[in-house]
């Protein structure tokens, strides 16, 4: 709990007593009226999973604070907008819900694997008491109540299941296991006015999956998925495929997979190749009328790499009558591109959305650009239109939010929206009658300035932003903004959500490269030890990704010359760095220094649902050792790759721009594969081999493997004899299929809690 100074409590709340009982109960006695008792029995419309929630009357608002393991309760009725209490909960809360009557609060604790239940009692005093914890699946992330409040649905992101909780008994009454890979967002609506228990549940699968014979790396190689359940018996009805968008509205100057290189220099006339994109990072879903809407970061992986053709801001539409994709996917970036005002801020990484109850209007959060966009819906076709700013019709309406907005709820009267901002740790209150910001409410304290936690937080902010705000060059000058991408187009998190992997194979400058989760970059037992970066070992410092900011995102970057503004021209793509360089600073901290600290200490490895003491896991571990898999995948970080020198490297350590000593050949390179090409249509790197990837939390990204996503299962990986026999110099010790099955089970158990095997 965050305790404010005594004078502040007295001035703001008139508090005369605050008592902590048994670590679970808080009592607040107030001179001002407490929140009125709410007897409303159900929510007015559909519900959805969010990190922020309201009761049915809109008098109570609660919001999670993942970084401080707490949630905050606010009184927001009649625009009181005051924080009542901050309550501790279990580790890393990400989802929260309030019963319609406001008497129960449910919190999904992701690391703890539980849902905590708190009772709210409002008489002359307000009581908030923890009444129980329900064990659910691995890494519960989203949760949502049915509109009548009788059931609570919880998406267990790592055990690939949904827990169904009876709120009358606070017990899990069913675990639905056929909901697909990494369930995240939940939306629930009632379609039968005669039966209040006949409701429909929509669950998004976070990462896109292969959709057929296409090779990973093509713009239409994958599709999004939404699983549909019915609440009457909690069974899966179907899975909706969210198809790729064939034409994003943005043209490329070439086509890498077709071996058409872009010219140099590139002119407007050269932008003539149609690009597609598939929906990925499906964090949230919202229902309006006959349609369900899924915001996502669209992946357009085919080269050439260019800021406006690599990721898109998609809004997919599901026809709820047929449970099919309508095929009318909208690219929100197009509205920004087509606005008459040439000052643009793109809607990068659409993360969540919500609709008004009484009109066909909704709001989409751009997590990376820190703004809220408004859309209007055609109720017949379901097609959304991005709204213009009424005060300036030359621009798309963009309501400013805090930093990294991740959740939004709208009250039943459609007069207020409340937006949870993860990085700035506050809530933006929006007046929906004017589409303007009414207030900003502090949810939990920011790290103390200058502390180590503050440095991590600075790095997290830069990692998640598409804009960036840096210290001025001189005192009293304005802050330096907009360096992280071109017009707010991209962020590190666009490809590494939560510092992990988007599981996309991008046709990059070195060739096809599947995104690697950055929790694997540093040795967890010695953070001074870092693996060679990129599959081809072309980077030996985190700062080398300055090339991605400038290339893939089109930004001006963080590393600057002596004037503290001009990008340092000595930074070249795919060249190991040559030591320290001048960096833009945030709150006195070097930008890349902070990002590196965040990667080292602020990214958590996903937890495995596989028990490490299973007999099959133990047998698989022995097979791992017998096959000497640890010769490539051993050590604390489950890879033997290490930068064994202080940059810059000696000339004999580098060839073709690669740290060649870190590369191994295991039979995974095939130059004849269609997607084995560089973004400029040249032959890719690969003949020298690849940096052995970490096996840590392999279970979290099980759909495509190898540098180019050439195989779609670990069974296919194990079928590669050259790979599985690499540790024993070609002697195959894994000829038995059952032995390989157990080895795979062991691989799926590996996470940050696993005991590493020495090389």
Q: What is the spatial distance between Cα 158 and Cα 179, in angstroms, rounded to a whole number?
A: 12
Angle at 509 between CA 505 and CA 511, to 5 degrees: 50
* 641 falls within a domain: yes
pLDDT value of residue 194: 62
Going across the sheet that includes 436-442, the strands are: 405-410, 416-421, 426-431, 436-442
Domain boundary among 107, 131, 163: 163
Assess whether 634 and 542 both reside in one domain: no
Same domain, residue pair 563 and 530: yes
pLDDT, residue 14, reads 33
Position 291 in a domain: no
User: What tokens does 533 get?
Assistant: 């970066």
Within this chain, do residues 7 and 149 fall inside the same structural domain, yes or no? yes
For residue 444, give both structure tokens: 């939990």
Residues 596, 622 within the same domain: no
Whether 642 is covered by a domain: the verdict is yes
Q: Whose structure tokens read 């099955």?
A: 741
End-to-end Cα spacing for the chain: 44
Residues of the chain with pLDDT under 50: 1-33, 573-574, 576-578
Is residue 686 assigned to a domain? Answer: yes
Residue in the structure block whose two tokens are 């991408």: 485
CA dihedral 458, 142, 107, 167 (to 10 degrees): 170
Shared-domain flag, residues 12 and 132? yes
Domain membership of residue 572 as a residue range: 456-601
Strands of the sheet with 151-156, listed across from one edge: 140-145, 151-156, 161-166, 171-176
430, 372 contact by CB (below 8 A):
yes
488: DSSP letter: G
* HEC sequence for 508-559: ECCEEEECCCHHHCEECCEEEEECCECCCCCECCHHHHHHHHHCCCCCCCCE
Q: Coil, helix or strand for 117?
A: strand
Could you give the CA distance from residue 48 to residue 184 in angstroms, rounded to a whole number?
Answer: 11
Q: CATH number, domain at 725?
A: 1.10.760.10
Tell me, yes or no, whether 339 lies in a domain.
Answer: no
Name residues whose C-beta falls within 8 Å of residue 194's C-beta, 6 or more positions apart in sequence: none
The three state secondary structure string of 246-292 is: CCCCCEECCECCCCECCCCCCCHHHCCEECCEECCCCCCCEEECCEE
State whether 675 and 733 are in the same domain.
yes
Question: Which residues are registered as beta bridge partners of 567?
Answer: 560
589 and 467 belong to one structural domain: yes
Is there a domain that residue 415 lies in? no
Strand ordering across the sheet containing 47-48: 47-48, 183-190, 199-210, 222-230, 235-242
- Pairwise CA distance, residues 47 & 100, whole Å: 11
Q: What span, in angstroms and rounded, lies between the C-alpha atoms of 539 and 341?
A: 39
Q: How far apart are CA 269 and CA 661, in angstroms?
A: 43
E strands present in 177-221: 183-190, 199-210
Residue 14 and residue 158 in one domain: yes
pLDDT for res 34: 59
Bridge partners, residue 305, by sequence: none
Three-class DSSP category at 468? coil
Radius of gyration of the chain (CA): 26
What b-and-e string marks burial along 612-640, b requiring 16 or more CB atoms within 10 Å of the CB? eeeebbebbbebbeebbbbebbbbbbbbb
- Same structural domain, 590 and 638: no
Note whether 676 and 582 are same-domain residues. no
Regarding whether 646 and 585 lie in a shared domain, the answer is: no
**Residue where a domain stops, chosen among 144, 163, 182:** 163
Angle at 572 between CA 571 and CA 578, to 5 degrees: 55
Residue 544: which residues within 8 A CB-CB, separation 6 or more? 533, 538, 575, 576, 577
Q: Which of 601, 633, 663 is the last residue of a domain?
A: 601
Q: Does residue 15 sit in the same domain as residue 157?
A: yes
Closest CA to 365 of 606, 185, 228, 555: 185
In this structure, is residue 577 part of a structural domain? yes
Residue 300 lies in a domain: no
Angle at 717 between CA 713 and CA 723, to 5 degrees: 170
What contacts 152, CB < 8 A, 6 or more positions away? 97, 106, 115, 143, 144, 145, 146, 164, 165, 167
User: CA-to-CA distance for 63 and 418, rounded, in angstroms?
Assistant: 10
d(CA 176, CA 235): 7
Instruction: Please give the C-alpha separations between residue 238 and each of 142, 153, 180, in angstroms, as whole numbers.
Output: 20, 17, 11
Which residues contact residue 543 at a Cβ distance below 8 angstroms, ignoring those fewer than 6 apart? 559, 577, 581, 592, 596
What CATH number did the domain enclosing 45 receive?
2.130.10.10
Side-chain half-sphere exposure of 44, counting CA atoms within 13 A: 16
The total number of structural domains in the chain stands at 3
């Amino acid at each position: 709990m965050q305790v404010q100074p005594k004078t502040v409590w007295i001035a703001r709340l008139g508090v005369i007593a605050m008592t902590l009982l048994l670590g679970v109960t808080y009592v607040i006695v107030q001179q001002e009226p407490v929140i009125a008792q709410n007897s409303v029995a159900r929510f007015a419309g559909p519900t959805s999973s969010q990190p922020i929630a309201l009761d049915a009357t809109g008098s109570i608002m609660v919001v999670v604070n993942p970084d401080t393991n707490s949630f905050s309760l606010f009184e927001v009725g009649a625009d009181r907008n005051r924080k009542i209490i901050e309550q501790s909960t279990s580790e890393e809360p990400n989802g929260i819900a309030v019963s319609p009557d406001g008497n129960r609060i449910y919190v999904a604790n992701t690391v703890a694997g539980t849902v905590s239940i708190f009772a709210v009692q409002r008489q002359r005093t307000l009581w908030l008491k923890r009444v129980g914890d329900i064990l659910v699946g691995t890494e519960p992330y989203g949760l949502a109540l049915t509109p009548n409040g009788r059931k609570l649905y919880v998406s267990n992101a790592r055990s690939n299941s949904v827990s169904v909780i009876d709120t009358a008994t606070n017990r899990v009454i069913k675990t639905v296991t056929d909901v697909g890979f990494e369930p995240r967002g939940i939306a629930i609506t009632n379609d039968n006015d005669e039966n209040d228990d006949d409701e429909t549940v929509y669950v998004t699968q976070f990462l896109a999956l292969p959709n057929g014979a296409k090779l990973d790396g093509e713009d239409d190689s994958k599709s999004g998925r939404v699983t549909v359940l019915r609440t009457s018996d909690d069974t899966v009805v179907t899975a909706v495929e969210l198809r790729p968008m064939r034409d994003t509205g943005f043209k490329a100057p070439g086509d890498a997979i077709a071996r058409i290189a872009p010219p140099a220099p590139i002119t407007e006339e050269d932008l003539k190749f149609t690009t597609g994109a598939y929906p990925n990072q499906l964090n949230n879903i919202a229902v309006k009328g006959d349609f369900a809407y899924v915001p996502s970061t669209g992946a357009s992986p085919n080269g050439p790499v260019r800021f406006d053709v690599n990721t898109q801001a998609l809004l997919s539409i599901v026809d709820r009558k047929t449970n099919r994709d309508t095929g009318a996917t909208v690219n929100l970036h197009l509205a920004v591109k087509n606005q008459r005002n040439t000052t643009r801020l793109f809607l990068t990484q659409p993360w969540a959305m919500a609709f008004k109850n009484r009109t066909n209007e909704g709001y989409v959060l751009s997590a990376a650009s820190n703004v809220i966009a408004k859309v209007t819906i055609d109720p017949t076709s379901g097609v959304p239109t991005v709204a213009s700013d009424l005060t300036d019709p030359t621009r798309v309406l963009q309501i400013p939010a805090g930093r990294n907005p991740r959740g939004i709820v709208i009250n039943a009267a459609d007069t207020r929206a409340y937006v949870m901002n993860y990085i700035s740790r506050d809530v933006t209150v929006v007046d929906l009658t004017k589409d303007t910001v009414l207030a900003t409410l502090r949810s939990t304290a920011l790290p103390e300035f200058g502390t180590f936690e503050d440095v991590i937080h600075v790095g997290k902010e830069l990692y998640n932003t598409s804009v960036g705000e840096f210290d001025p060059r001189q005192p009293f000058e304005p802050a330096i903004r907009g360096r992280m991408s071109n017009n707010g187009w991209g962020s590190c998190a666009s490809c590494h959500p939560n510092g992990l992997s988007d599981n996309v194979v991008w046709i990059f400058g070195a060739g096809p490269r599947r995104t690697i989760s950055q929790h694997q970059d540093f040795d967890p037992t010695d953070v001074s030890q870092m693996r060679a970066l990129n599959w081809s070992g072309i980077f030996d410092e985190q700062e080398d990704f300055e090339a991605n900011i400038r290339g893939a995102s089109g930004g001006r970057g963080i590393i600057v010359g002596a004037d503290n503004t001009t990008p340092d021209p000595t930074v070249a793509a795919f060249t190991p760095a040559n030591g320290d360089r001048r960096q833009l600073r945030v709150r006195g901290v070097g930008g890349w220094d902070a990002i590196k600290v965040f990667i080292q200490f602020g990214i958590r490895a996903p937890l495995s649902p596989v028990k490490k003491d299973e007999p099959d896991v133990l047998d698989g571990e022995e097979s791992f050792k017998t096959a000497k898999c640890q010769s490539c995948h051993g050590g604390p970080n489950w890879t033997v790759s290490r930068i064994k020198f202080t940059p810059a490297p000696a000339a004999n350590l580098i060839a073709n721009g690669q740290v060649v000593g870190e590369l191994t050949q295991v039979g995974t390179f095939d130059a004849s594969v269609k997607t084995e090409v560089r973004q400029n249509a040249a032959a890719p790197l690969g003949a020298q081999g690849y940096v052995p990837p970490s096996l840590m939390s392999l279970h979290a990204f099980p759909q495509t493997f190898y540098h180019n996503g050439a195989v779609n299962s670990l069974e296919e990986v194990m079928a590669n004899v050259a790979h599985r026999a690499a540790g024993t110099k070609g002697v195959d010790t894994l000829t038995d299929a059952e032995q390989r099955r157990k080895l795979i089970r062991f691989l799926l158990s590996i996470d940050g809690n696993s005991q590493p095997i020495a090389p």
